[in-house]
C-alpha cells in the first residue's frame, strides 16, 4: 500500500470539504486539512486539521516542516469574482503570491502540487475550450488565476498539475459562499422568480465529480493541465430551468435575460465551458450529467427529485 501525506488548503471550502472526506477515507493516506478558521467547519473526516492562512509564509513554512507533505492540493483562493475586481491587492496576495510560495516550498520538499484553476482564464469568445487553447482573461480574478498557473509552470517544479474547472455546484457544511444550485433552491423554495442569463454558456460541474477527478490526479501522480468540468454545454438560463424541473418547481420561476441587464464589477466570459476528453481518457473519469448531479445532490439534501 502506498503511504502518502496529503496537505489540503482551503479545506473548509466547497471542494476542500469533499476532498477531506474522500481522501481521508483511503487507507494509507495521512491527510492534513487546513483552513483559515481555528476549527474545521465540517464534521467527521478522519484526518488532522490545523489553521493555515496561505498568505502567511511563516505559517506555510511551519506546516511544511512539520508535515513534509508528499502531495499538496491548493483549493484555497479568493473566489468571489467581483470582490477580486474591487480588492485587487487581497486577490493577488491569495491567488498569486501565496501560490508562488507554495510552489517554492513544494520544490524544496519534493511535494506534488495540485492547483485549482478556472475557465475565467479565457475571454469566452470561443468556448468550449481545450487545454491547448490560449488563455486571455478579462477579469482580475481570471488574471490572478492565470498568473498563479504561470508561476507554477516556471517554478522549476517537475511534479505539478493544474485542474481547471467551471461553475461548480454542490453542498458542504457551513459554507462561506453559496453556489448557483443552492441559491436557486433557496429562491424557488420561497416562490421567488429569478432572472437568468441566456448569453453565458458553461459546462456546470458537480463538486463530487470534481473531487473524484482530483483524487485520480493525485492517485496517478498526474502532471500538466487538465480540464475538469461537466460534459454538457448549456446557458446559465437552461441550467436554471433544469434545476427547477428536477426539484419539482415551476419553470415559470425562471425568467430569461441577458448579461447587459446586470451591472457587475467584473466581466464574465460569455461562452466558456470545457472539452474534457483528456481527463476522460487519461484519468478514466466520467462526470455525471447535470440531471444526474442534481439527483445525487437532492438525495444528499433529502429532497425529492424528478430527474
Ligand atoms: N466554485 C466555482 O465555481 C469555481 C469555478 C472555477 C474554479 N474554481 C476554483 O476551485 C477552487 C475551489 O473552489 P471552491 O468552490 O471550493 O471555493 P470556496 O468554497 O470559496 O473555497 C475556498 C476556500 O479558500 C479559503 N481561503 C480564502 N483565503 C484563504 C487563505 N488566505 N488561506 C487559506 N484559505 C483561504 C476560503 O475561506 P473562507 O471559507 O473563510 O472564505 C474557502 O474556504 C478555487 O481555487 C477556485 O478558484 C471554483
Q: Where are the domains of the chain?
A: 4-168+205-227, 177-203+232-301
Distance CA 285, CA 266 (A): 33
Task: Give the closest residue (by CA) to ligand 1 atom 40.
Answer: 36
Task: Give the closest residue (by CA) to ligand 1 atom 30.
Answer: 53
| Distance between Cα 230 and ligand 1 center (Å) | 19
- Summarised one tens digit per residue, pLDDT across range 248-275 is 999 999 999 999 999 899 999 999 999 9
Question: Which 3 state secondary structure label does DSSP give 60?
Answer: helix
CA nearest to 237, candidates 222, 216, 258, 218? 258
| Distance between Cα 306 and ligand 1 center (Å) | 31
Superfamily of domain 177-203+232-301: UDP-galactose 4-epimerase, domain 1 (3.90.25.10)
Q: For residue 305, which phi and psi values (nearest 5 degrees)?
A: -130, 160
Complete DSSP assignment for 255-289: EEE-GGG---SS---SB--B--HHHHHHH---PPP
- Summarised one tens digit per residue, pLDDT across range 218-232 is 999 999 999 999 999
Superfamily of domain 4-168+205-227: NAD(P)-binding Rossmann-like Domain (3.40.50.720)
- Kindly state the cell numbers that stand for 166: 467551471
- Summarised one tens digit per residue, pLDDT across range 72-92 is 999 999 999 999 999 999 999
Alpha helices (runs of H) in the chain, residue ranges in sequence order: 14-24, 57-67, 81-86, 88-92, 98-109, 140-154, 180-189, 207-219, 236-246, 277-283, 290-301
- pTM for the structure as a whole: 0.98
pLDDT at 190 over 90: yes
Report pLDDT for 1. Answer: 55
Question: Which 3 state secondary structure label does DSSP give 168?
Answer: strand
- Nearest atom in ligand 1 to the alpha carbon of residue 172 is 19
Report pLDDT for 46. Answer: 76
| Distance between Cα 13 and ligand 1 center (Å) | 6
Amino acid at each position: 500500500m502506498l503511504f502518502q501525506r496529503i496537505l489540503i488548503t482551503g479545506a473548509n471550502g466547497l471542494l476542500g470539504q469533499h476532498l477531506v472526506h474522500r481522501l481521508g477515507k483511503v487507507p494509507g493516506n495521512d491527510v492534513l486539512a487546513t483552513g483559515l478558521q481555528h476549527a474545521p467547519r465540517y464534521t467527521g473526516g478522519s484526518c488532522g486539521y490545523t489553521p493555515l492562512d496561505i498568505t502567511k509564509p511563516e505559517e506555510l513554512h511551519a506546516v511544511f516542516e512539520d508535515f513534509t507533505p508528499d502531495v499538496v492540493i491548493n483549493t484555497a483562493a479568493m473566489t468571489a469574482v467581483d470582490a477580486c475586481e474591487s480588492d485587487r491587492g487581497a486577490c493577488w496576495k491569495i491567488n498569486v503570491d501565496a501560490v508562488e510560495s507554495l510552489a517554492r516550498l513544494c520544490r524544496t520538499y519534493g511535494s506534488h502540487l495540485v492547483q485549482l484553476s478556472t475557465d475565467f482564464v479565457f475571454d469566452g469568445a470561443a468556448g468550449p475550450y481545450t487545454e491547448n487553447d490560449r488563455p486571455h482573461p478579462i477579469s482580475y480574478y481570471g488574471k490572478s488565476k492565470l498568473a498563479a498557473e504561470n508561476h507554477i509552470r516556471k517554478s522549476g517544479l517537475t511534479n505539478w498539475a493544474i485542474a481547471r474547472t467551471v461553475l461548480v455546484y454542490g453542498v458542504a457544511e457551513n459554507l462561506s459562499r453559496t453556489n448557483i444550485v443552492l441559491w436557486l433552491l433557496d429562491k424557488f423554495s420561497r416562490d421567488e422568480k429569478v432572472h437568468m442569463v441566456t448569453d453565458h454558456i458553461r459546462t456546470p460541474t458537480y463538486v463530487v465529480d470534481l473531487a473524484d477527478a482530483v483524487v485520480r490526479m493525485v492517485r496517478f501522480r498526474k502532471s500538466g493541465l487538465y480540464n475538469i468540468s461537466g460534459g454538457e454545454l448549456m446557458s446559465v438560463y437552461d441550467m436554471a430551468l433544469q434545476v427547477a424541473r428536477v426539484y419539482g418547481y415551476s419553470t415559470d420561476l425562471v425568467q430569461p435575460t441577458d448579461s447587459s441587464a446586470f451591472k457587475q464589477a467584473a466581466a464574465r466570459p460569455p461562452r466558456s465551458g470545457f472539452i474534457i476528453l483528456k481527463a476522460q481518457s487519461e484519468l478514466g473519469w466520467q462526470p455525471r450529467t447535470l440531471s444526474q448531479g442534481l439527483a445525487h445532490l437532492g438525495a444528499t439534501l433529502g429532497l425529492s427529485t424528478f430527474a
